[in-house]
């Protein structure tokens, strides 16, 4: 498959390795640091606005940007069908046959997604992260390297779980919250919070009010009942 990457930073380079490991092809890299289109080593580099010109039925898109909010804003700006996004799973990752993985989501080396877990669209499950059975992870989340989400954890939209953080079973973390690296979450965390430490405690609100109004975020009820597209690019 030919993949068009949006974003040309460090995260994008890691995603390129996944594409190569899967035997797919990086077709183009689009980033607004490029003002015009050029071809280099068989790949097209150009501004994001060139996407609609270069897309065809053989190509799929991945937004290769680590920041959850910027990933969401770019998705809104691209305004393409969900089916045009690819799901990328590194061959060393374990994904249960009963897990569901959304479109545009990237699963990095050695990650584990266990039985009946549901991971939304445009998420990053980073290297060696563990998503245990029956988790529900909203769209645009980033589960950083070495995170452990134990059983039945529920994450709202846009949650960032800092590297090596952990959540005990059955806890919920509200939309657009941030959990500090190395923290242990033992109580539910409300939306738009920033928590850190073991046990994790609030360090302050994560987002300004203007952002809270714009971001929306999914309700827990909606998340619990969400269903992913019937077909996706799992291999
Ligand atoms: C491949 C990759 O790179 S993936 C990306 C991985 N990235 C990460 O894991 C980053 C995670 N980010 C963090 O842990 C950050 O420290 C954050 C987001 C939690 C907080 O960042 P900031 O908002 O800048 O907070 P700041 O550094 O000002 O700290 C505020 C307070 O919280 C404390 N604090 C911050 N982070 C942590 C943490 N992880 N654990 C415990 N306490 C923390 C600070 O000591 C400080 O306490 P004080 O007020 O008593 O001095």
- Which of 139-146's residues contact partners 24+ apart within 8 Å by CB, and which partners? 139/72, 139/102, 139/218, 140/68, 140/69, 140/71, 140/72, 141/68, 142/66, 142/68, 143/111, 144/181, 145/108
Q: Whose CA is nearest to atom 25 of ligand 1?
A: 203
Structure tokens at 116: 């009946």
Compute the distance from residue 124 Cα to the ligand 1 centre, in Å: 19
ipTM of the complex: 0.98
Q: Average pLDDT for residues 78-86, to the nearest whole number? A: 96
Q: Average pLDDT for residues 54-66, to the nearest whole number? A: 96
Q: Whose CA is nearest to atom 48 of ligand 1?
A: 203
Compute the distance from residue 40 Cα to the ligand 1 centre, in Å: 39
Q: Tell me the catalytic residues.
A: 133
Which among 196, 197, 205 is the best mutation to test ligand 1's pocket, defined by most ligand atoms within 8 Å of the CB? 196
Q: Whose CA is nearest to atom 46 of ligand 1?
A: 203
pLDDT at position 204 is 75
Q: How many other CB atoms are found less than 10 A from the CB of residue 217?
A: 20
Q: Mention every residue, 6+ apart, whose C-beta is less than 8 A from residue 97.
A: none
Q: What is the pLDDT of residues 139-185, one digit of tens each?
A: 999 999 999 999 999 999 999 999 999 999 999 999 999 999 999 99
Q: Is residue 116 very low, low, confident or very high in pLDDT (cuts 50, 70, 90)?
A: very high
- Cα–Cα distance between 25 and 1 in angstroms, integer? 6
Q: Is the pLDDT of residue 88 over 60?
A: yes
pLDDT at position 167 is 98
**Average pLDDT of the residues of the chain:** 91
Q: Is residue 233 very low, low, confident or very high in pLDDT (cuts 50, 70, 90)?
A: very low
pLDDT at position 228 is 56
Q: What percent of the chain has pLDDT over 90?
A: 86
pLDDT at position 195 is 98
Which among 111, 180, 195, 204 is the best mutation to test ligand 1's pocket, defined by most ligand atoms within 8 Å of the CB? 180
Nearest to 52 by CA among 21, 13, 24, 80: 80
Q: Is the pLDDT of residue 105 over 70?
A: yes
Nearest to 90 by CA among 107, 65, 75: 107
pLDDT at position 227 is 58
Compute the distance from residue 130 Cα to the ligand 1 centre, in Å: 21
Residue owning tokens 């897309």 = 55
Q: What is the pLDDT of residues 173-214, one digit of tens each?
A: 999 999 999 999 999 999 999 999 999 999 975 555 455 555
Q: Is residue 216 very low, low, confident or very high in pLDDT (cuts 50, 70, 90)?
A: low
Q: Average pLDDT for residues 101-105, to the nearest whole number? A: 98
Helix, strand, coil abundance in the chain, percent, nearest 5: 20, 30, 50
Which among 9, 142, 182, 203 is the best mutation to test ligand 1's pocket, defined by most ligand atoms within 8 Å of the CB? 203
Q: What is the pLDDT of residues 24-51, one digit of tens each?
A: 999 999 999 999 999 999 999 999 999 9
Q: Is the pLDDT of residue 224 over 90?
A: no
Paired sense of beta strands 43-46 and 38-40, if any:
antiparallel
Nearest to 154 by CA among 220, 202, 94: 220
Q: Average pLDDT for residues 86-93, to the nearest whole number? A: 98
154 touches 136 (CB < 8 A) = yes
């Amino acid at each position: 498959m030919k993949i068009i990457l949006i974003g040309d930073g460090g995260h994008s380079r890691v995603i390129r390795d996944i594409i190569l490991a899967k035997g797919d092809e990086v077709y183009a890299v689009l980033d607004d640091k490029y003002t015009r289109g050029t071809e280099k080593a068989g790949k097209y580099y150009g501004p994001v606005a060139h996407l609609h010109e270069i897309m065809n039925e053989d190509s799929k898109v991945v937004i290769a940007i680590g920041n959850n909010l910027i990933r969401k804003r770019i998705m809104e700006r691209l305004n393409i069908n969900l089916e045009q996004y690819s799901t990328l799973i590194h061959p060393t990752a374990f994904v249960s046959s009963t897990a569901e993985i959304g479109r545009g989501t990237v699963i990095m080396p050695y990650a584990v997604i266990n039985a009946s877990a549901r991971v939304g669209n445009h998420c990053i499950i980073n290297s060696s992260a563990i998503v245990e059975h029956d988790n529900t992870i909203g769209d645009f989340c980033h589960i950083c390297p070495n995170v452990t989400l134990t059983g039945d954890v529920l994450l709202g939209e846009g949650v960032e779980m800092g590297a090596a953080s952990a959540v005990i079973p059955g806890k919920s973390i509200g939309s657009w919250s941030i959990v500090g690296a190395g923290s242990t979450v033992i109580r539910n965390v409300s939306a738009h919070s920033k928590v850190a430490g073991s046990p994790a405690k609030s360090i302050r609100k994560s987002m300004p009010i203007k952002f809270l109004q714009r971001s929306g975020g999914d309700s827990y009820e909606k998340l619990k009942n969400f269903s992913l597209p019937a077909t996706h690019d799992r291999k």
